[in-house]
Amino acid sequence: MAIDTVAVIGRGALGLLFGEWLGARMAPGAVQFVMDDARFAEKGAQRLLVNGELARVPVVPASQAHPVDLVLLAIKTTGLELALDTMEGLMGPRTTVLSVCNGVTSEERVAERFGWQGVPLAVAQGMDAVFMGGELTYRQRGEIRLGPATGTAPWVVPELDAFLTAMDVPHAVEEDIDHRLWTKWMLNVGVNQTCAAFGGTYGSVSAPGEQNRVFVGAMREALACARAEGHDVTERDLMAMAQLMASLTPDGIPSMAQDRLNGKRTEVEEFGGTVLRLAERHGLLVPTNAWLVERIEG
């Protein structure tokens, strides 16, 4: 079955990036942003810009939405419970849910509510999206990496692959998506939290000094947790992530640092919070993450 209709939950950095891109390529009305009714009343009519152009994809309240072929979940994980309620009316028997949320829990939480059948595992990476003051700016569109979870129906990933190819959305189907997901989580534990705690940048966490020590230390603790859970994340992956950050625009900042500047709740629970929970389960010492969580939440 082809993907002909798309609902995007989250009209922020990634939602606008992917939603407006798809809206410009699909039939009129085929792509919609869907919001819970309270958020729609407050923000549904907001005029937002994407690289200087007015965002055009229509916005509808959840109470008026219908089942779609694809739900693109692009909210901060702090809002996931409400987003799951918002999605109730969008789910049909063959709806696919593509979560571009960071962290290792969003797909599981979607599957707990709707079942695994339509849920692949995915990460979004490589974009330099900044959403501030009602405007999304980006130069790098980044890419989506995806693959099946154990319970994902066999048709989901091939259909998504064909759709993303037809829409010219950079993506790749991973042989080992679990490894990609946990490696990205390790990176976010390090770079997102360190930049949020210190007001840092990709440049400052990569330069020798305290930020770099915290960045690497936090990742190493995440790595130990991931391995204790049976995910094959290695020191080589850690090194590759550190090198990746050192290669980015030095004054760039991750999404969590943008949350701090925008006065929004951060995803610290998804990053350091998950480290603390897993460390407790496996008897690991994780002082750097304990400090980061306290500093970011405090």
Ligand X SMILES: NC(=O)C1=CN([C@@H]2O[C@H](COP(=O)(O)OP(=O)(O)OC[C@H]3O[C@@H](n4cnc5c(N)ncnc54)[C@H](OP(=O)(O)O)[C@@H]3O)[C@@H](O)[C@H]2O)C=CC1
Tokens of 253: 């900042």
Residue type, 193: Q
Regarding 35 and contact with ligand X (CB under 6 A), the answer is yes
Q: What is the C-alpha end-to-end distance of the chain, expressed in Å?
A: 49
Regarding 195 and contact with ligand X (CB under 6 A), the answer is no
Tokens of 10: 């989250």
Q: Which of 120, 217, 254, 272 contacts ligand KPL by CB under 6 A? A: 254
Regarding 13 and contact with ligand X (CB under 6 A), the answer is yes
| Residues 188-217 close enough to bind ligand KPL by CB under 6 A | 188, 191-192
Regarding 23 and contact with ligand KPL (CB under 6 A), the answer is no
At closest approach, how far in Å is the CB of 92 from ligand X?
19
At closest approach, how far in Å is the CB of 43 from ligand X?
6
Q: Under DSSP, is residue 9 helix (H, G, I), strand (E, B) or coil?
A: strand
What's the CA gap between 160 and 216, in Å, rounded?
Answer: 35
Residues in Cβ contact with 22 at an 8 Å cutoff, skipping those fewer than 6 apart: 6, 8, 31, 57, 72, 167, 169
Site of tokens 């440049």? 203
At closest approach, how far in Å is the CB of 75 from ligand X?
4
Q: Which of 3, 5, 6, 15 contacts ligand X by CB under 6 A? A: 15
Residues in Cβ contact with 148 at an 8 Å cutoff, skipping those fewer than 6 apart: 120, 121, 154, 156, 157, 177
At closest approach, how far in Å is the CB of 53 from ligand KPL?
22
| Residues 106-145 close enough to bind ligand KPL by CB under 6 A | 125, 127
Q: Which of 6, 104, 110, 129 contacts ligand X by CB under 6 A? A: 129
Output the DSSP codes for 131-167.
EETTEEE-S-EEEEEEE--TTS-TTHHHHHHHHHHHT
Q: Which of 201, 206, 211, 255 contacts ligand X by CB under 6 A? A: 255
At closest approach, how far in Å is the CB of 196 from ligand KPL?
10
Q: Which of 12, 19, 190, 272 contacts ligand X by CB under 6 A? A: 12
Residues in Cβ contact with 113 at an 8 Å cutoff, skipping those fewer than 6 apart: 84, 87
The residue count for binding ligand X (CB under 6 A) is: 28
Q: Using CB under 6 A, which of the segments 19-27, 46-54, 98-106, 238-246 binds ligand X?
A: 98-106
What's the CA gap between 133 and 155, in Å, rounded?
Answer: 40
Q: Which residues bind ligand X (CB under 6 A)?
A: 9-15, 35-36, 39, 43, 74-77, 79, 82-83, 86, 100-102, 124, 127, 129, 131, 255, 267
